[in-house]
Structure 1
């Protein structure tokens, strides 16, 4: 695995623990995953009147993994390298 690509991936990937803490204390998760418009709508509707919040509790881990997979693909990691990183 190319160390430069791996270092770039490590700096750009979403950190799961940080995003979970931001979500639990501030309701911030969509913005961390490059969906700022959805984050603004989330705040305006007060978490979709609670419904979005409940759904997000169950979907946040998958969303983080999907975002990290997208970052890895942009960097140029192949499927085998992504599998090694646990993205599949």
Structure 2
């Protein structure tokens, strides 16, 4: 595995614990995953009056994994390298 690609991935990937803390205390998750427009809409609707927030509790882990898979592809990691990082 190329160390330069791995270092770049590690610096750009979404940190799961940080995103969960931000979501629980501030309702912030979409913005952390490069979707600021959706984050603003989330705030304007008060988390879809709570329904959207409840759904996000069950979908956040998958969204973090998908975002990290996208970052890994952008830095040039192949499928085998992504699999070894647990992204598949």
Which residue number in structure 1 is paired with residue 30 of structure 2?
A: 30
Unaligned residue ranges in structure 2 (runs of 5+) = none
Q: Distance in 2 between matches of 1:48 and 1:31?
A: 16
The one-character-per-residue Cα deviations of 1:28-82 (angstroms, maximum 9, x if unpaired) are 0000000000000000000011111000000000000000000000001000000
What is the count of residue pairs matched by the alignment? Answer: 88
Calculate the TM-score normalised by the size of structure 2. 0.99
Unpaired segments of 5 or more residues in structure 1? none
Superposed CA RMSD in Å reads 0.2
**Which runs of 4 or more aligned residues in structure 1 lie more than 4 Å from their structure 2 counterparts after TM superposition?**
none
TM-score normalized by the length of structure 1: 0.99
